[in-house]
Structure 1
Amino acid sequence: MQLNNDLNNLQIYCDESGFTGNKLLDVDQPIFTFASVASNEEEAKFIVEKIIKDYGIQNGEIKSGNLVKSQKGLRALDEVLEILDERYKICICDKKYAIAGKFFEYIFEPALAKKNSIFYGINFHRFITDYLHLKLVTQDKSAEVIFEEFYKIMKQGVDTPTDSLFQIASNQSDPVLNQILKFAHYNKDSFLYEMDGYLGDGAGKWILDITTTCLFSSLGKWGQKIDILDVYCDSSKPLNANQEIFNSMIGRTEKKSQIHEQMNLEQPLTFNLKQPVQMVDSKNFYGIQLADAIAGSFNYAYKNIKDEKNQLAQKWMNKIFRDESILVTFLGGDYEYANIEKAGAMLNWLILNHIVQKCDDGLSILDNISDEILSLRQLMLLNPPPNVKVWNI
């Protein structure tokens, strides 16, 4: 059967692998992947039935969670990826990196919002995120305590500011974590004000979950090629709770994007939906089974990327890192922005110390902050710390 390559006559099917909801520190499921595939039920049925027959798959349904457990199953997934080449998109999220980014978004961003472009421009957000991610990966107990409290607050909500919220620890051995915790403690009111009335109900119940973000980003990418999107997703509690954001895209014909000049990135903000996103059962929709196969393949591949002998994991990951059109979202990293041997990271470390000191002194963080950052930069250039490459500043 020849595949239909007219994208405007196809549906978009979506599924995920590694879902744990708000529990982004689940030890058994460290990676979340979200896949979307352009197909239709006729060809999807043909592909699924071919794979089931050729590889002797039991139960009459493609389930990547089972297929990744054997070499025969991995070959079956590889054939699915080959058949659907250039017809799928993938989001890959290291959950520890994702929750570190959420911490910056909800704890730091409200306090810095009025002048946040300054901090984003010098990658202050990446310094904080990368450092927290590094500490979580190395299983630093101090970082785990911070995120346990963060998770509890985001899940249950806090009615009023309390002295115990992000309490400053006197025995904190890590100087960067100590300053991050102090910032969180001093600026808890701006965080609570931002979250007032949102946590705990409806969409707010799934505030840490990344399913909705991945679906929205994926549809934004598809919307750049397809005029009207007809979307089907495996039934999901977070997506059911967040239907409003997608319903606002029904009949949305204008195309808006946000340009991130520093990253040379265009992020679509709108897309045109034919109808509300349909929540369906994978047993009844072959296209969802294909999306499951793709999501599971890349979940497996990312977990095994460091195994140079795993040829399929290497093949799949190399493909998406070479082709920007496939990879929609990648939340992970090599901690580059937390390496204080680089001037950019050292500058951000000095800035963190500076704004926490302003909090200690009861001063507004943002007053004169542009000039103060320039002064810190000049100080580094004139008196560079040992081992810091100042030309990277």
Structure 2
Amino acid sequence: MQIVLLTAPRGPSRMPPPPRLISCDEAGYTGPKLLDDNQPYFAYAAIDLTPEEASDIISATRAKYHVQAPELKSSLLRKRENWPDIALEILSPLKGRVMVIAADKRLNLAGKTFEYILEPVLEKMNGLFYHYDLHRFVMNALHRVFFVAGESVPKLAEELQAFMKSFDPSDAPTVFAAAQQDAETNEILECVLRFARGYAKIIAEQSEHLQKDVNPVGKWTLDLTTTCLFSLILHGWGHQHESLDVLCDDSKPLQAMSHVFDGFVGNTKSAELIGRGGKPAPIKANLANPLRFGSSAANPTLQIADIVAGATTDLLQHQKDASYHELAKWLIPHMHPHTMMPDDDFIDLKQPKPRLNLAALRELARRADAGEDPLEKMAEFYEGLIAQEQKKMKWPF
């Protein structure tokens, strides 16, 4: 008896789709010096658009608005009175194909204070502190100081950056004087200073690589470009397309940091990070190749990305201007959740969580003064604070 094994006929093997072109550009760039009186906001845009589609939009805009410049650039178009209308007309056909992150530069610099002073000491248990938004508490408190100061923003930036290297208040006299005008922010800054002094050795060891001028990464540490691109790709387009070809406008900070993305070339796996409020934040991106860089003159998609980014920073600077209202309706739904804007709710001591974080920061400063372990039983410390708050009011966590 002969046994014949039957197998189902094989269908055609599935060919993976070609990588999706994602083109990226920024507006409001001022390099590692984050704060600039004339450009308080930064925006980074990533768009899902083919070169042919971009060329058609550019040609139509040129013809209708008699654009003579060799490139379509927001820096030129914003000089026209009808710039918001032009921007809206360019963007209207791109619904769902645009992501943009905006950042208040003052807030971001304040956030760097947490990142470079507290994070190196707390990193082994940082999920606990991120869960309760201690970083946002510190960031928004220091952001408030900038507006009390009355000095030019670049001066405040220089002082704070100097302080982050020395932990010496004499390097930031304007910042500390401004904090003293508000008891709450003054105490927060004082706790940060005590923490920095007490754990100076750990902080110095962990941030040594940032102090070396020969390291290009250190030069661009305070730049927003890489952070924004990471969010747009790993928390954005990477979840929507099977494979990505990421094209960026020529950028020194990105070229120095591009190796950060090399591990995602051909990577089909996802990983989970800790996001806002301690919630899981999965990252995913399968890059078809390392980041590519090009000029906007040779790449029409980069010109459209520039329009998106430029329209975003202009909208933020003219939020009360009626001529921007329709553009706002289009842009706001396309803003990435990682957009960074000040939020006083994080420091309102009438609310439980800010009170929780102030108590935790006081405890960390006390431990720094005493030379104690900064992490031992901090989870229990938070739990005790929560129990106290729950006695005062119904406050489910």
State TM-score, norm by structure 2.
0.83
- Which of structures 1 and 2 has the bigger CA Rg? 2
Partner of 2:218: 204
- Distance in structure 2 (CA, Å) of the matches to 1:370 and 1:84: 46
Partner of 2:8: none
> Residue in 1 aligned with 2:381?
372
Structure 2 partner of 1:3 = none
What is the deviation of 1:89?
0.8
> Displacement, 1:140?
6.3
1:321-360 map, 5 Å: 321-322=332-333, 326-360=335-369
Partner of 1:304: 318
Amino acid at match of 2:219: K
Change in CA separation of 1:271 and 1:365 when aligned onto 2, cut-off 3 Å: same
Match of 2:292 in 1: 278
2:55 to 42, 45, 59: 45
Match for 2:216: what amino acid? G
Aligned length: 373
Distance 1:166 1:116 in 2: 27
Partner of 2:26: 16
CA distance in 1 between counterparts of 2:338 and 2:381 reads 34
**Structure 2 equivalent of residue 131 of structure 1:** 141
Displacement of 1:148 in angstroms is 3.2
Stretches of structure 2 lacking an aligned partner (at least 5 in a row) = 1-16, 181-185
Of 91, 94, 105, which aligns to 2:101?
91
Aligned to 2:259: 244
Distance in structure 2 (CA, Å) of the matches to 1:94 and 1:163:
24
- Specify which of 234, 237, 241 is matched with residue 226 of structure 1: 241
Aligned to 1:189: 201
**Counterpart code for 1:108:** L
Q: Which amino acid aligns with 1:341?
A: K
Report Cα offsets for 1:32-68 as digits up to 9, x if no partner.
0001111222221111111011111121321101212
Deviation at 1:365, TM superposition (A): 2.3
Q: What percent identity do the matched residue pairs reach?
A: 28
1:119 aligns with 2:129: yes
- AA aligned to 1:178 is E
Q: Tell me the equivalent position of 1:100.
A: 110
Q: Alpha carbon RMSD of aligned pairs, Å?
A: 3.2
The structural deviation recorded for 1:75 is: 1.8
Q: 1:293 aligns to what?
A: 307
CA shift at 1:337, angstroms? 0.7
Amino acid at match of 1:284: A
Alpha-carbon deviation of 1:297?
0.6
Deviation of the 1:121 alpha carbon: 2.1
Tell me: CA distance 1:28–1:289, structure 2 relative to 1, closer, same or farther (3 Å). same
Helix, strand or coil for the counterpart of 1:258? strand
CA distance in 2, matches of 1:202, 1:320: 34
Find the residue that maps to 1:251 and give its secondary structure. Answer: coil
- CA contact 1:218–1:328 (8 Å) conserved in 2: no
Shift of 1:25: 1.7
- Gaps of at least 5 residues in structure 1 are 1-6
